[in-house]
Copies of this chain bind each other. A is one copy, B any other.
């Protein structure tokens, strides 16, 4: 059976995206006649007209749309093949794009980067800090190879692996009544002024669920943009809050005069985990990175 060339499909994909022979040729780094000829040949091979040549550029026919969509998946899967081969050959020896949520990134990345550098000297790690939803969008869109997030997080087409339990600690001004109370319980928070992170941070939702309150009930007026800010606000006497042990151990309260105390029991907190696209060719490499993270967090956090 006669088959098109991947090159032809690449050209046609570019043509479909740009809607112009010349611009498509540019993005493919070939001249316009080259691309024109290739498309013509593709049409001859498929025995269908794929594009309408118009005065100003080109538009796809119905068949063209169909072929363009299929071409995209073929190209994507070929890239996956290359990535998978590379992973199988020598894992973590090229570019890897890792995302992390803001309440994890500053406290985990400094720990793992040296270890990764040592274990995988050829690894070029690109980092992106963003909130869970946007990270997972990136993962799905193949812009990220994996993401450090808080589990559980249900998302179709995403696979996850838990790495460590991250306990929530209570934080309050030294003068606050709860700072001295014996046997600290989550229910004690019901009465207090609980400060939260901005909307979109999953830690905000976790904190709210700990307080057993609806999402918008608490302190909507003030919310912090980062854990560091949150600590400063607590230190300034604006209220109390929760801080994950991960951040506390990393010294997020250093230099401030706040009381930091664990809850008695049960252990309340979140699960730090790694997420990747289901069927990703770099799943194995993601797990390797997860292993390094797990190892790095072993000191303070409870591994899973």
Contacts and interface: CB of A to CB of B under 8 A. Distances in A.
Interface of A: 1-7, 9-10, 45-50, 61-63, 66-67, 70-71, 73-75, 77-82, 84-86, 88-90, 281
A48 B78 contact: no
B88 A62 contact: yes
Given A70-B84, A88-B63, A79 B47 contact: no
21 contacts: A3-B6, A3-B75, A3-B78, A4-B78, A4-B82, A5-B5, A5-B6, A9-B78, A45-B82, A46-B82, A46-B89, A47-B86, A48-B86, A67-B81, A67-B84, A67-B85, A67-B88, A70-B77, A70-B80, A74-B74, A74-B81
Nearest to A73: B77
A45 B2 CA distance: 24
A1 B79 contact: yes
B1 A46 contact: no
Contacts of A61: 88
Label chain A's interface by main secondary structure: helix
A43 to B, nearest CB: 9
Contacts of A49: 89
B88 A3 contact: no
Given A1-B82, A48-B90, 11 more contacts: A3-B10, A46-B89, A47-B86, A48-B85, A48-B89, A63-B85, A67-B84, A70-B77, A70-B84, A70-B281, A77-B77
A1 B5 CA distance: 16
B5 A90 contact: no
Listed residue (A3, A9, A50) with the most chain B CB atoms within 10 angstroms of its CB: A3
Listed residue (A46, A49, A80) with the most chain B CB atoms within 10 angstroms of its CB: A46
A4 B73 contact: no
A84 B49 CA distance: 13
A7 B5 CA distance: 8
A67 B87 CA distance: 11
Listed residue (A1, A74, A78) with the most chain B CB atoms within 10 angstroms of its CB: A78
Contacts of A78: 3-4, 9, 74
A75 to B, nearest CB: 8
Listed residue (A2, A45, A47) with the most chain B CB atoms within 10 angstroms of its CB: A47
Contacts of A75: 3
Nearest to A2: B82
Given A6-B3, A48-B86, A48-B88, A77 B79 contact: no
B82 A66 contact: no
A131 to B, nearest CB: 29
Contacts of A89: 46-49, 63
Nearest to A94: B47
A48 B86 CA distance: 7
Contacts of A10: 3
A59 B6 CA distance: 27
Contacts of A84: 66-67, 70
